[in-house]
Amino acid sequence: MTLAPAPGSGMTSQRTRDRMVARLRECGVADEVVLEAIRDVPRHMFVDEALASRAYEDSALPIGFEQTISQPLTVARMLEAVRNGRELDRALEVGTGCGYGAALLARVAKAAYSIERIAPLLEKARANLRPLRIRNLRLAHGDGYQGLPEVAPFNAIVVAAAAPHVPRALQDQLAVGGRMVIPVGTENQELRLIERTSSGFKETRLDAARFVPLRAGKG
């Protein structure tokens, strides 16, 4: 289900964010912690000024470097899936992009980490995030396929780009009981939920998806 653009003026106002949250709730997002995070984080701060009037539409928007900021409904559903009603101690985002997803993850986890392979985009994210003064968020420049083993394990991993397969390194960085949501596929993508149990991994297919590709290495 796609959200309609918020009507009226004041596209960067709190009232506009409230309307977006109401529409997300109508689309089935029920996790109040996630909805409150989306209400708190001003999405227009993470897009170019020319696109600020579209910041609260349910659409992916370009952020440069052939990357996009994901649509709010997709972000909300991914966060809801990895949280699963739990309080998160430590969470990882793969693909910092403009920093919006990282800001949301820091609202729902005690400690949040985000990794980005494109150095200039990471610096753009740092600049976007600086005014929010988020104390429990750490950004890293690195290969998303490798994750951040030095600070693992994670209770939750959110991957914001599509991989052709589920990276083993990311699976291994899940704590027992941890959950990862990742888009998988090339032309035909789908969101998958990976859960780590005491005896191995459980994989569940969720919705169809459309993300930029997850690339290896650093740039």
Residues serving a catalytic function are: 70
Is it true that the peptide bond before 153 is cis, omega within 30 degrees of 0?
yes
Strand intervals (E) in the chain: 61-64, 67-69, 88-94, 109-116, 137-141, 154-159, 174-184, 189-197, 200-209
41/37 Cα distance (integer angstroms): 6
139/159 Cα distance (integer angstroms): 14
Dihedral angle of Cα 88, 89, 95, 99, to the nearest 10 degrees? 90
Name the residue with tokens 């753009």. 124
CA-to-CA separations, 183 to 112, 127, 168, 171, 172, in angstroms, rounded: 20, 27, 14, 14, 17
40/217 Cα distance (integer angstroms): 33
